[in-house]
Structure 1
Amino acid sequence: MRRVLLLGLLALLVAPLAIAQPLAVETYTLPNGFTVMLNPDATATEVSGAVMVKAGGKNDPADATGIAHYLEHLLFKGTQEMGTSDYEAEKVHLDRIVELYDEAAATTDPEARQALYTEINQEALAASEYGMPNEFDKLLKSLGSTGINAFTSSDITFYYNNFPAHELPRWLDLYSHRFENPVFRSFQSELEVVYEEKNRSMDAFQNRLIETFNAEVFKGHPYGDQLILGTIEHLKNPSLTKMYEFFKTYYVANNMALILSGNFDPETAKPLIAEKFGDWRTGEVPEYPDYPKRRFEKKQTLDVRLTPIAVSLMGFKTVNDTHPDRFGLDVVAAMLSNSASSGFLDEISLEGKVLQAGMFNNSMQDDGVSIVIVVPKPVVQSFKAAEKLVLAAIEKVQEGEFTDEDLAAVKSTLYKDFQSSLESVDNRAVQMGFCFSRGLSWDDYLKYPEMVASITREDVMRLAEQYYGDNYFAMYSKTGFPKKEELEKPSYEPVTTDQNAESGYARAFASMEPALPEATFVDLAKDVTRMELEGGNKLFWTENPINDIFSLEMEFQVGTRTLPSLEPIADVLNLAGTSEYSATELKKQFASLGASFYFSVSRNYFTLSVDGIEENLAPTLALVNQLLTDTEIPQDAIKTTAEGIETNREVESSTPDAMGSVLFQYGLRGEASQYL
């Protein structure tokens, strides 16, 4: 029955598809220096729109860290015309709040500072009689917007959401207006939100681990010396004046970009963009200091207790995100660990030599590091023993102990990952933004597969030797947690606002006539090909209009709702081999075709997911068929899975978000919870 299903797929998919090219991006600059990046894609169902600023946590003043992130929050709170019923009356109290925060920042007496914060609260209550800080969000939702959000990294700040194409004129009006004459209302109330985000960050051991790691690897640079969320002391004593200065300095047309990706007409958009964004002010952006990049002369170590399980991190200093070596270093990293689980580090994980090992490159604008994460086998394995296995894997790459086929497989995997990342307009918009921040053209970005393909085995060996020597940083975290300082929420009188009031801008916005939507509905008879297969199985197939990557899901109509034991079975099958191939060899066989597989389970379905390169579909399906009809479970797979589940439970029990999910599932399903 399974063989018939795969043969049916092969009959439909073996012929090459006519691939459309919705990846073209037009980039231009308005007279005021504002960058516009347009990616029309007629295959999309919506538009992903964003405004990006080339400033992030690294640009925070050293004595006021967290400002870039806090500002991100406040730019959802309206302007002098939006989010207020009477700005002139509100402004009296807002101006006084700025003065009081400056006084508080200059005060060292805790009691005097608290008295000032109490007075700020009274002014905030008075200002709230006029303010409507949630109006911007309501107006976006009135367009049918989804995914309304923003993020701040060390290098950039990115504001984004998705919306229907026919609402483009009103979306442009709203997004251009939000950055003109913004008002940082609800500053004190929003501080509680930032406090909570900081507390959650400190609760998550992963964040503490990476922050401690970065502080050593990037010492002397804001990447290591400053936190994006800010220090506790700086969050307790914020400065509105410094925040306005940050906005005036970095939020200027020549330091920002508009990004649109999706189903819109660029010729309709261009005059609207010029009208809405063309009058933004231009400013002189300070030249960023050239901080020295830390390099390790020899191996350096740090022992900590930050995690619920033993974890080690190894950091090898590499290059920034525009350095020519970045392509070769991606290949080196993929030789060790990749999405197809075919690297040398993946191999020691699959064979149960360590509980888990993986690697990724973290290349930012100013510096970079390649990070190896290793979880030793509980109780029986030391950090030193696990690290020895990692170094042996790296040495294999340095010595060229890999075949040309291994190298080709890694390149195919990187090609598949790159192409797949561009299928979503959301992710495409983010990548367009990264091009803007790095000073790269979109055409240069699309050359990534070509650059990876040009890397030779000699390049791989040379780069592995050059960057992965014995001058690395190793951090060993034993089980334990440091004492955590928690930001207590201030006990101020809560601010309330009239949620039904409207600003003058909102009334004018509502009067703008939106264009009628041009809906294109899915025609299941034409857009989806169906086949009834032997044994009652059904096949549904549709074309990928973006690239030459295929995705296949085989769903079996049984899940944990009826068979709870399917969850560990899926984990075990991800470590499976066949009578012809061991688990490691099977992963490499899939990788040689630019493909990978993954078993998963939900409450209602047991699923095998396969993706790969279309021209290799036939041999990939042959491998899938072999996996399903000739499955062999390695001797240690069940033990490795059990150790992994036990470790995951330890991690979950120490992670508030995970425990929240555990309690929710128990409240929802009782004894039938997947965690029991």
Structure 2
Amino acid sequence: VYLSDYKNAPRIQTYLAVRAGSKNDPATATGLAHYLEHMVFKGTSRLGTKDWSKEKPELDKIEALYETYRSQRNDLAARKRTYHQIDSISGVAARYAVPNEYDKLMGSIGAKGSNAHTSNEETVYQEDIPSNQLEKWAAVQSERVKEMVPRLFHTELEAVYEEKNRGLDSDFSKEFEALNASLYPTHPYGTQTTIGTIEHLQNPSITEIKKYFGQYYVPGNMALCLSGDLDYDQTIRLIDKYFGELPSKPVPAFNAPTEKPITAPIVKEVVGPQSENVMLGYRFAGKATRDGLRLRMLDKIMTNGQAGLFDLDLNQQQKVLQAQTFADLNDDYSTHVLYGTPRQGQKLEEVQALMLTEIEKVKRGDFPDWLIPAIVNNEKLSRTKSYESNEARASAMYEAFIERVSWVDYVKQNEDFATITKAEIVKFANDHYGQNYVAVFKRNGEDPNKVKVIKPAITPVPANRDAASAYYKEISALPSTELQPVFIDYKKDIQTTDIKPGLPLYYTKNTENGLFSLFYAIDLGTNNNPLLDVATDYLQYLGT
């Protein structure tokens, strides 16, 4: 449990983080972690049901039928009959379901930003709740992780199919998958994707999803990260009350495959209708290493939006239409990606050469000495500003958990980042940037291998929108204290002085961190001069 008491508003940002993602999917059932994320919103044997005793037998039948359906890949007629049974029984089961009851319950307590995401090594559920609704939140979240109920399973498949089809329509997604497949030919980072293959999406296994849930959604592999207007003692008591009895058990160890070194450039091509570009990728060690920090630094030397080598040499000089870099940091390996889009008539090979030239500059130390200290200062500034947000505070806490590092060591990474020297980066670049990359050329054209997930016919199910479970009523009846508004006293909270006659200064001391904000309020607008709108946008480019 990670807690941060930050009273900037009477709300609490919450994350429930599970240290498992798509790399933990069985190779025969990819996309499982992501689909499970969807199902966790469907409720339990108490939440989201009108009559569990009648709903459960139908859901058990559906689960068994899906196992039969998976075994009939080579018998289309049998599959069609089995799917007809699934569709029919799903309609019966839906009579007892209360769709979206979780969302309605969260909405009733004033929660905002209800969402979740799945990636390589994490599945994270988030809510932003009023601080006086903490007990209701704890009760509902503990209920969600006690069991997985495959409610409205085959109708939810339609939403996942649509996500998959959007990915198949995205040239960038296809390009990035091709890059990872070549960088990681034996590791799940490259052999499978978070969304899963078409084959596996069309042959889902409720049994496998339940197994995954039972293996990974357990204490010791989950974290609660809360930041906001909270009391530490009261919060811990509530968490212990609602989560304390969850049974703990060992989590399966993940044994990361060791990839063979890349000794010569690997070149791939992707064809699609979107703009042409080239993507280069280098493979590195995992993020919780010194090399992970060096990679972060080198990436900022290349692209930081202002004074990186790509920013100044390629983008500002218009040698390419657009170029950037980013570091994809993961537990087992990390990837440094260089990405460039050509000007009209420019060849992708020229863009590739220009990007590699910037890497050579780093290897020679051909970048200003002030750049690394500037990056360190800018990172510190960004981090300090971000911690004025409960979302950023709670996100940092769950990132530490996912990385398997203590909070002390997580914070120390920022201190270690500041110790990186120019000589260290030059050596790092010479050691790690050679012919050991993957290049993916995205060219214009019609993809001859374009595919789509064919959605099966799904009979509409009853909505039961006005129904409510007994659990919904039970949680709604829990008492909560009334929030008391806090108003600014302009005479006490804001100080006033005159810089000179007619020019007042209003100020208040920032006691939280070493930053300050300055705003000018001028009694002049576009009604006085329509060009002011353009002038204020232009101001940031003038310099001093």
Residue equivalent to 2:180: 214
Q: Compute the displacement of 1:410 (Å).
A: 2.3
Quick check: 254-263 or 37-46, which moved more? Answer: 37-46
State yes or no: 1:406 paired with 2:389: no
Deviation at 1:44, TM superposition (A): 4.0
Q: Judging changes above 3 Å, is the alpha-carbon distance between structure 1 residues 65 and 541 closer, same or farther for their aligned structure 2 residues? A: farther
Q: Deviations over 1:217-243 (max 9, x none)?
A: 222111111110111111111111111
SS in 2 for 1:253: coil
2:452 matches 1:486: yes
Contact (CA 8 Å) 2:165, 2:452: kept in 1 or not?
yes
Aligned to 2:211: 245
Identify the match of residue 51 of structure 2 among 62, 86, 95: 86
Is 1:335 the counterpart of 2:301? The answer is yes
Contact 1:320–1:326 (CA<8 Å) still a contact in 2? yes
Q: Does 1:104 align with 2:74?
A: no
Per-residue CA distance 1:436-475 (angstroms, 9 max, x = gap): 1111122222223321221112111111111222321111
2:382 pairs with 1:382? no
Give the Cα separation in 2 of the matches to 1:231 and 1:435. 30
| Closer/same/farther in 2, CA of residues 552 and 225 from structure 1, 3 Å limit | farther
Residue in 1 that maps onto 2:86: 120
Match of 2:402 among 434, 437, 440: 437
Cα distance 1:124–1:539, how it changes in 2: closer, same or farther (>3 A)? farther
Aligned to 1:276: 242
Work out whether residues 281 and 338 of structure 2, in 8 Å CA contact, stay in contact via their aligned partners in 1. Answer: yes
* Paired amino acid for 2:373: A
Matched to 1:46, the amino acid is: R
- Decide whether aligned partners of structure 1 residues 222 and 523 sit closer, same or farther in structure 2, where only a CA change above 3 A counts: farther
1:505-529 Cα distance to aligned partner (Å, 9 max, x none): 1121122111221332455665567
The number of residue pairs the alignment matches comes to: 537
- Map 1:8-407 onto structure 2 (within 5 A): 36-108=1-73, 109-306=75-272, 308-339=274-305, 341-348=306-313, 349-379=315-345, 381-407=346-372
Letter in 2 for 1:50: Y
Q: Which residue of 2 aligns with 1:512?
A: 478
Matched residue type, 2:393 = R
Distance 1:322 1:493 in 2: 48
* CA drift at 1:385: 2.2
Q: Which residue identity is paired with 2:385?
A: S
Within 5 Å, which residues of 2 pair with 1:464-543? 464-482=429-447, 483-523=449-489
Letter in 2 for 1:314: L
Instruction: Summarize the Cα distance change of 1:97–1:40 in structure 2 as closer, same or farther, 3 Å threshold.
Output: same
| Aligned residue identity for 1:429 | A
Change in Cα spacing, 1:429 to 1:400, as seen in structure 2 (3 Å) is same
Partner amino acid, structure 2, of 1:155: E
Tell me the distance in 2 between the aligned counterparts of 1:240 and 1:89: 19
For residue 351 of structure 2, what is the amino acid of its counterpart? A
Distance 2:64 2:490 in 1: 62
In the TM superposition, what whole-angstrom CA distance separates every residue of 1:85-112 from its partner, at most 9, and x where no partner exists? 1101111111111111111011121221
How many angstroms apart in 2 are the aligned matches of 1:564 and 1:233?
57
The structure-2 alpha-carbon separation of the partners of 1:515 and 1:453, relative to structure 1 and needing over 3 Å to count, comes to: same
| Residue 533 of structure 1, CA deviation | 9.5
**Aligned positions of 1:496-645 closer than 5 A:** 496-523=462-489, 546-550=512-516, 557-558=525-526, 576=541, 623=543, 626=544
Mapped to 2, the partners of 1:543 and 1:76 lie a distance apart of 44
Deviation sequence 1:142-177 (CA, Å, 0-9, x none): 110000000000101001110011111111111111
TM-score (normalizing by structure 2): 0.92
CA distance in 2, matches of 1:472, 1:252: 39
Instruction: State whether residues 302 and 308 of structure 2, in contact with CA within 8 Å, keep that contact through their aligned partners in structure 1.
Output: yes
Amino acid at match of 1:257: A
Query: Residue 424 of structure 2 aligns with which residue?
Result: 459
Structure 1 unaligned spans of 5+:
1-35, 579-622, 627-676
**What code does the residue aligned with 1:445 have?**
Y
Q: Describe the superposition over 1:465-508 as per-residue Cα deviations: whole angstroms up to 9, x where unpaired.
A: 11222321111112234253222332221111312212111121
In the TM superposition, residue 552 of structure 1 has moved relative to its aligned partner by 5.8
Distance in 1 of aligned mates of 2:61 and 2:410: 48
Q: How much does 1:530 deviate?
A: 7.8
Cα distance, 1:389–1:102 mapped onto 2, change above 3 Å: same
CA distance in 2, matches of 1:355, 1:539: 44
Q: Distance in 2 between matches of 1:355 and 1:221?
A: 34
The percent of aligned pairs where both chains have the same amino acid is: 34
C-alpha deviations, 1:394-452, integer Å up to 9, x for none? 22221122333233222222222333333321122222111111111222222233212
Contact residue 266 and residue 437 of structure 2 kept, 8 A? yes
Q: Provide closer, same or farther for how the CA distance between residues 468 and 521 of structure 1 changes in structure 2, counting only shifts above 3 A.
A: farther
Cα distance change of structure 1 residues 311 and 510 upon mapping to structure 2, 3 Å threshold? same
Letter of the 1:54 partner, please give it.
R
Q: Which segments of 5 or more consecutive residues in structure 2 lack a partner in the other structure?
A: none
In the alignment, the residues of structure 2 paired with residue 437 and residue 256 of structure 1 have an alpha-carbon distance, to the nearest angstrom, of: 9
CA distance in 1, matches of 2:506, 2:188: 51
The separation in 2 between residues aligned to 1:166 and 1:338, in whole angstroms, is 41
**Deviation per CA, 1:361-389, whole angstroms, max 9, x where unpaired?**
1110110111111112221x222322222
CA distance in 1, matches of 2:170, 2:274: 11
After superposition, the Cα gap between the structure-2 partners of 1:403 and 1:485, relative to the gap in structure 1 and judged at 3 Å, is closer
CA separation of 1:351/1:128 partners in 2, compared to 1, >3 Å: closer, same or farther? Answer: same
2:178–2:268 contact (8 Å) kept in structure 1: no
Q: Does the C-alpha gap of structure 1 residues 228 and 524 become closer, same or farther in structure 2, counting only changes over 3 Å?
A: farther
Could you say if the C-alpha distance between residues 180 and 388 of structure 1 is closer, same or farther in structure 2, counting changes exceeding 3 Å? same
Distance, in Å, in 2 between the alignment partners of 1:176 and 1:242 is 22
* TM-align CA RMSD: 2.7
Indicate conservation of the 8 Å contact 2:118/2:194, yes or no: yes
Within 1, Cα distance between the matches of 2:532 and 2:198? 44
Q: In 1, distance between residues paired with 2:505 and 2:207?
A: 62
Residue pair 1:362, 1:369 contacting (<8 A) in 2 also: yes
State the Cα deviation string for residues 630-669 of structure 1 (Å, max 9, x = none): xxxxxxxxxxxxxxxxxxxxxxxxxxxxxxxxxxxxxxxx
Distance 1:202 1:281, change over 3 A: same
The amino acid of 2:255's aligned partner reads P
Q: Taking structure 1 as reference, are residues 295 and 417 closer, same or farther at Cα in structure 2, changes over 3 Å only? A: farther
